A and B are shown apart, each in its own frame.
Chain A
Amino acid sequence: MSIFEYNGAAIVAMAGKNCVAIGSDLRFGVQLQTITTDCPKVFQMNDKLFLGLSGLGTDAQTLHEKLVFRHNLYKLREERSMKPTTFAHLVSSVLYERRFGPYFAGPVIAGLEDNGTPYLCGMDSIGAMETAKDFMVQGTSPESLYGMCESMWREDMEPEELFETLAQCLLSGVDRDALAGWGSVVHVITPDKVITRTIKGRMD
């Protein structure tokens, strides 16, 4: 059994018209046992930047703490928040530093650039970055998630429609995944606000 499948996760991020959305499942489990159903895998870094971390729970947690640490120091030194591209490169560097003893995590970064353009990026556990214009997925059943996104995503969706699409992709995508699901949370980021919605799904 792969170390990446010890805990289980599903993360989807999508780009719309001057908005991005990112969501994850809520299951926290240890192999086949579900421990809690209130464990989101998406974290807010600043008002226009979200980070999702799939993979081994302890590594995702530690990585998140390290990145909060780095981001806080950056804000103090530079007196400004990190741009999404800057943050993504930082995550990549942090991961590559551990090239031969990596963090078993799969990050997804979703944010809005200064001019409102969506930024989506995903990487593997050693920091190989991939930016996307449409959507980015990570987790224990990426194939199901890709399948859903590929068929349901369209260009230039407004925030409301983007939310519906992402939510449906996430909910249906985790149906075939024993290790992810048990409810989900979705954040929609627009230039003026972030709307967070927790979604009731199949609790199995």
Chain B
Amino acid sequence: MAGEGSQYSFSLTTFSPSGKLVQIEYALKAVGAGATSLGIAASDGVVIATEKKLPSLLVDEGTVKKILMLTPNIGVVYSGMGPDYRVLVRKARKTAQVYYQLYKEHIPVAQLVREVAAVMQEFTQSGGVRPFGVSLMLSGFDDNGPQLYQIDPSGSYFAWKASAIGKNMVNAKTFLEKRYSEEVGIEDAIHTALLTLKEGFEGQLSSSNIEVGIVGADRKFRVLTESEVADYLQEVE
């Protein structure tokens, strides 16, 4: 992947004397500067949500899609650099289809997470590339039930009951820690997700500046419409 006459055919992610990979640290900073996203795994489904922070009032917010489907039962959201996110979504969707073509069975959530994480790790150990500037929050429902996974720029992944990434993650996670319980159903989880986003939101939360995606026991991931989000927001108020 090095260009012609390039001096940079070595990996930019080389160890520092203290045993860190500074490029990954910096990538995490890029994630931390991104809009907050969070996910909650309920007893009968998973909800993911994000702030849609647009640079200007003139942006057509209906065309901005941060929450995307990877397979009919797996959805994803991110914090960090949008363009990097889209590359990963493409790769993840292809991985899922390759699996389906081979086995005629939908890829289990954990397997997809592993493959995506492996791609992200590759970019921390190859020449002439930089790590992805995104953390992903993957939500899915398969034979092992509802699952929520976070994948970092380093390629490490964690399964969460509830978590947040991005600008306001520390406060959001504290809020979630207080509110989370194992038996919570998906409707309550959606309310909790909205309340958590509201906590750190600069300005007025509305259905046009957040996005919510859910996958329930029907195992069908979908992004809620603006009017559905508006209804949930009203219930929360």
Which A residues lie at the B interface, using CB under 8 A?
A: 77-78, 83, 85-86, 89-90, 93
Contacts and interface: CB of A to CB of B under 8 A. Distances in A.
B103 interface: yes
Contact of B111 (A78, A85, A90): A78
Residue from B101, B103, B105, B108 with most neighbouring chain A CB atoms (10 Å): B103
A78 B108 contact: yes
B114 A86 contact: no
Interface in B91-128: 101-105, 108, 111, 114
A123 to B, nearest CB: 14
A85 B114 contact: no
B103 A77 contact: no
Contacts of A93: 101-102
A90 B103 contact: yes
Contacts of A86: 103-105
Interface of B: 101-105, 108, 111, 114
B147 to A, nearest CB: 14
Given A86-B103, A86-B104, 9 more contacts: A77-B111, A78-B108, A78-B111, A83-B105, A85-B105, A86-B105, A89-B103, A89-B104, A90-B102
A23 B21 CA distance: 58
A77 B111 CA distance: 8
Contacts of B114: 77
Contacts of A85: 104-105
B103 to A, nearest CB: 5
A83 B101 CA distance: 15
Contacts of B104: 85-86, 89
Contacts of B101: 93
A31 B101 CA distance: 38
18 contacts: A77-B111, A77-B114, A78-B108, A78-B111, A83-B105, A85-B104, A85-B105, A86-B103, A86-B104, A86-B105, A89-B102, A89-B103, A89-B104, A89-B105, A90-B102, A90-B103, A93-B101, A93-B102
Contacts of A89: 102-105
Contacts of B105: 83, 85-86, 89
A70 to B, nearest CB: 9
A156 B154 CA distance: 55
Contacts of A83: 105
A89 B105 CA distance: 9
A69 to B, nearest CB: 14
A198 to B, nearest CB: 34
A83 to B, nearest CB: 7
Nearest to A129: B104
Nearest to A74: B103
A85 B105 CA distance: 9
Nearest to A88: B104
Contacts of A77: 111, 114
Nearest to A70: B102
A161 B186 CA distance: 51
Nearest to B105: A86
B229 to A, nearest CB: 35
The 4 A-B pairs of least Cβ separation, nearest first, read: A89-B104, A86-B103, A93-B102, A86-B105
A78 B113 CA distance: 12
Nearest to B98: A93
A51 B38 CA distance: 46
A18 B101 CA distance: 29
Contacts of B108: 78
A160 B160 CA distance: 50
